[in-house]
Amino acid sequence: MAKQIDEYTLVGCNGNAFAVMGYVINAIRESGRLFQRPQALTDGNIENYKLLAMSGNYDELLCVSMQTLDDINEDLRKGGFIRQESDDTLEMIAKLTAMGYNVSR
């Protein structure tokens, strides 16, 4: 069975631009390892991300970072690496939400 991980998200990530970039770069590296991609390909993806992320202002950094994480998560979902929540967990989230609690996954 493939290693199961949670989806990558910027929610809860330090808002500092360098921290965001570091988080996304680590996500690119980890996905490269999971798919056993050549190091040169992963390094190329990191360089492309850095060029796009640093080419504009902070808002553009966030947009590029979120799009990159969405792309990584989609690949990981297709590869079966994203941890699926159990039916019990989904049921508990539904109950807490119905009671008015703000539940984030």
Written as tens digits, the pLDDT of the chain (105 aa) is 456 778 899 988 899 999 999 999 999 999 888 888 888 888 999 999 999 999 999 999 999 999 999 999 998 888 877 776 655 666 777 788 888 887 665
Report helix, strand or coil for 35: coil
What was the pLDDT predicted at 99? 85
CA distances from 65 to 21, 95, 99 (A): 7, 32, 34
Domain layout of the chain by residue ranges: 17-98
What was the pLDDT predicted at 89? 67
- What pTM was estimated for this model as a whole? 0.73
What was the pLDDT predicted at 19? 96
What was the pLDDT predicted at 77? 84
CB contact set of 39 (below 8 Å; sequence gap of 6+): 32
